[in-house]
Amino acid sequence: MPRGQHGGVYFGRTGGGVLVPIQNELTLDIEVMGDAAIVRCAGKLTLSSVSRLRHEVKRLLPQVRVVTLDLTALTMMDSMGLGTIAALYASAQNAGRELHVVNIGPRIREMFSVSRLLSLFESAGEANVRIP
């Protein structure tokens, strides 16, 4: 099934060639405020979508001092998603920037904890800070 992005939404083609939205694909809502940015993630952060998050966050790092990933609406994350967030954290640190992760759901929090990555995001991970 060919896939493409149109207006921020991912679409695939049915057997009849009709474009339909791909359910639960990753969507990103990016808000830049001065030297900080919030990236609101919704849907699935998996092998098929991690490159999009990586690209957008790396694009923001030279522009802002702090990038916050808001995972409120993230419904699923696989090991590639976890690895990508860890790699983005390292990229931010190497660039003298900060990467925060907030609103981590119970299942995703467990992945961070089991992989011993929760401590990287300790302040947000422990407080489970909410962003409106």
Residue ranges and CATH numbers for the domains of the chain are: 23-127 (3.30.750.24)
Q: How far apart are the first and last CA of the chain?
A: 37
Q: Is 36 left (phi over 0), alpha (psi -120 to 50) or beta?
A: beta
28 Cβ contact list (under 8 Å, min separation 6): 39, 40, 41, 42, 52, 53, 56
Q: What pLDDT shows up at residue 1?
A: 33
Does the global pTM surpass 0.85?
A: no
Question: What confidence score (pLDDT) does residue 7 get?
Answer: 44
Cβ neighbourhood burial of 1 (10 Å; 0-12, 13-18, 19+)? exposed
Per-residue pLDDT tens digits for 54-106: 999 999 999 999 999 999 999 999 999 999 999 999 999 999 999 999 999 99
Structure tokens belonging to residue 18? 């009709």
Average pLDDT for the chain: 80
State how far the Cα of 108 lies from the Cα of 7, in Å rounded to an integer.
28
Answer yes or no: is pLDDT of 2 > 70.
Answer: no
Instruction: Indicate if the pLDDT at residue 125 is higher than 60.
Output: no
pLDDT of residue 4: 42
With residues binned 3-state (H G I as helix, E B as strand, rest as coil), the percentages for the chain, rounded to 5, are 35, 35, 30
The neighbouring-strand residues paired with 31 are 38
